[in-house]
Chains A and B, each alone.
Chain A
């Protein structure tokens, strides 16, 4: 059994989740050795601005720092940056780093995040980008100016945010997605259609319902993409935004249970003093009972806090991680926010605003209960519905809500159904940034 009070905690991953663990441990009185290992050479930085303020040039990279140097100093960390973990020996309680050194631990936190998926055959091809690191964003930024043509593969939040920035910088943008409606995976068909329309109005050309077959190259540089139906789209740069895959390769021989991420119990413990937080962590969500992995910024922090408390409590007294997930996306002048999880939702009702106004709050339900609330440009109002999500409140009857606030026809002229929910059912898969 793990000692209830470890004296050596090692955190692998120096981004939002790992930093959150370290800060919470100190805040809650942990005075032992605390090692924070990150494979990137940078001090911990924030990733949501990569596809927003950093890509647009509004901020420089220093602005992404999660904490000041003084605040990090105050944590008393053994900070190992530019040091990739390559293996874990749970028997010896040691992490092996790429430089050959080893770091011992009593409690280990895996917070290694996820890596952007790439298209096969594009390694080393100039002009092909993903958006996951500060270098990715700065490289892509160089491509975005009037007259340059950008193809975006995938239509999740990252691709959509980059499309908005690229248009604002004057680049020509084509978005290719295998989904019938861009963003429908994340937001459901009606909100997805509304957002797609916004992109079209801003000059984005959308090619839905088709896979990208290959990136076309000439002299080692991308010249466009070939679609599965044989069409080609010429481009000066290609952004691949088709989701991410958890960074678990270094755990292969460790005995730590790995599936889609590190498979933890409900308390985020993966056994043998190993815990996980952030994009890499999978756990059975207490509300749904389903194994869940969330690639969102707010989750990284909240899981980090929960892991820190559970490490200090010890596995015997650890408590389940039971969050109301939160994600947001900024596109043009729209702010989209989601509290809860849309996965499997079977009913939607707009409770404030409307699709036509592009300003709304929409409750989402599953099995007769509220499972999420989605807001577009109504942040404060949307937050007031969060308690319904937290409580998994019974789905409100129409009489509970002001009928004048129900949805009108979508801007896409898709008629509202005559009966049942005002919007089509939401996404069937997941609410990830894919």
Chain B
């Protein structure tokens, strides 16, 4: 799995952190996404897909 985030699109909702806290975090000051693991282990793939789906700024792209 290859994950990419568009920090320019990110609106700081934090929905990705709620869906996949092992893969995403937020910067303290502005809430912009921090990608902790751009490949993510297999046991996180469902969570990552959920995170990409619920992102209200369509800022997460997942390629298999």
Interface residue ranges, A against B (CB under 8 Å): 20, 23-24, 27, 46, 48, 63, 66-68, 71, 297-298, 301-302, 305, 326, 328, 330, 335, 337, 377, 379-381, 383, 386
Contacts of B41 in A (CB 8 A): none
Number of A-B contacts (CB under 8 A): 61
Contacts of A66 in B (CB 8 A): 58
Evaluate contact between A335 and B26: CB separation under 8 angstroms. no
Task: State which of A24, A305, A379 has its C-beta within 8 Å of the C-beta of B12.
Answer: A379
Q: How far is the CB of A293 from chain B (nearest CB, A)?
A: 18
Contacts of B18 in A (CB 8 A): 383, 386
Question: Is B57 engaged at the interface, CB distance under 8 Å to the other chain?
Answer: yes
Question: Is B17 engaged at the interface, CB distance under 8 Å to the other chain?
Answer: yes
Evaluate contact between B49 and A27: CB separation under 8 angstroms. yes
Q: How far is the CB of B2 from chain A (nearest CB, A)?
A: 14
CA distance A187 to B3 in the complex (A): 35
Evaluate contact between A380 and B53: CB separation under 8 angstroms. no
Q: How far is the CB of B14 from chain A (nearest CB, A)?
A: 4
Contacts of A71 in B (CB 8 A): 61
Other A-B pairs, 12, CB within 8 Å; known A20-B53, A335-B31, A380-B28? A24-B53, A27-B49, A27-B53, A46-B57, A71-B61, A298-B56, A301-B53, A305-B54, A328-B11, A337-B12, A377-B30, A386-B14
Interface centre among A24, A46, A66, A380, by most chain B C-beta atoms within 10 angstroms, is: A380
Task: State which of A20, A68, A305, A337 has its C-beta within 8 Å of the C-beta of B13.
Answer: A337
Task: State which of B9, B15, B28, B53 has its C-beta within 8 Å of the C-beta of A326.
Answer: B15
Evaluate contact between B54 and A298: CB separation under 8 angstroms. yes
Evaluate contact between B56 and A335: CB separation under 8 angstroms. no
CA distance A24 to B26 in the complex (A): 25
CA distance A46 to B55 in the complex (A): 12
CA distance A337 to B30 in the complex (A): 12
Given A23-B53, A67-B58: A328 and B13 interface contact (C-beta under 8 Å): yes
Per DSSP, chain B at the interface is loop
Given A27-B49, A326-B15, A337-B13: A297 and B31 interface contact (C-beta under 8 Å): no
CA distance A24 to B57 in the complex (A): 17
CA distance A381 to B14 in the complex (A): 10
Interface centre among B13, B17, B18, B61, by most chain A C-beta atoms within 10 angstroms, is: B13
Task: State which of A297, A305, A377 has its C-beta within 8 Å of the C-beta of B56.
Answer: A297
Interface residue ranges, B against A (CB under 8 Å): 9, 11-15, 17-18, 26-28, 30-31, 49, 53-58, 61
Contacts of A48 in B (CB 8 A): 11, 56-57
Per DSSP, chain A at the interface is helix
Given A335-B30, A335-B31, A379-B26: A46 and B58 interface contact (C-beta under 8 Å): yes
5 sampled A-B residue pairs with Cβ under 8 A: A297-B56, A301-B54, A377-B30, A379-B13, A383-B17
Chain B: which residue is nearest A44 at the CB level? B58
Given A380-B26, A386-B18: A328 and B53 interface contact (C-beta under 8 Å): no
Q: How far is the CB of B12 from chain A (nearest CB, A)?
A: 4
Evaluate contact between B14 and A383: CB separation under 8 angstroms. yes
Contacts of A386 in B (CB 8 A): 14, 18
Q: How far is the CB of A306 from chain B (nearest CB, A)?
A: 11
Chain B: which residue is nearest A298 at the CB level? B56
Evaluate contact between A379 and B53: CB separation under 8 angstroms. no
Evaluate contact between B56 and A379: CB separation under 8 angstroms. no
CA distance A66 to B19 in the complex (A): 19
Q: How far is the CB of A303 from chain B (nearest CB, A)?
A: 11
Q: How far is the CB of A146 from chain B (nearest CB, A)?
A: 26
Contacts of B56 in A (CB 8 A): 48, 297-298, 301, 326, 328
Interface centre among B30, B53, B55, by most chain A C-beta atoms within 10 angstroms, is: B53
Chain A: which residue is nearest B31 at the CB level? A379
Evaluate contact between A326 and B13: CB separation under 8 angstroms. yes
Contacts of B49 in A (CB 8 A): 27
Chain A: which residue is nearest B30 at the CB level? A379
Evaluate contact between A335 and B53: CB separation under 8 angstroms. no
Contacts of A298 in B (CB 8 A): 13, 15, 54, 56
Q: How far is the CB of B23 from chain A (nearest CB, A)?
A: 16
Q: How far is the CB of A393 from chain B (nearest CB, A)?
A: 17
Contacts of B27 in A (CB 8 A): 380
Task: State which of A68, A302, A328, A380 has its C-beta within 8 Å of the C-beta of B54.
Answer: A302
CA distance A129 to B9 in the complex (A): 25
Chain B: which residue is nearest A329 at the CB level? B11
Q: How far is the CB of A27 from chain B (nearest CB, A)?
A: 6
CA distance A337 to B54 in the complex (A): 16
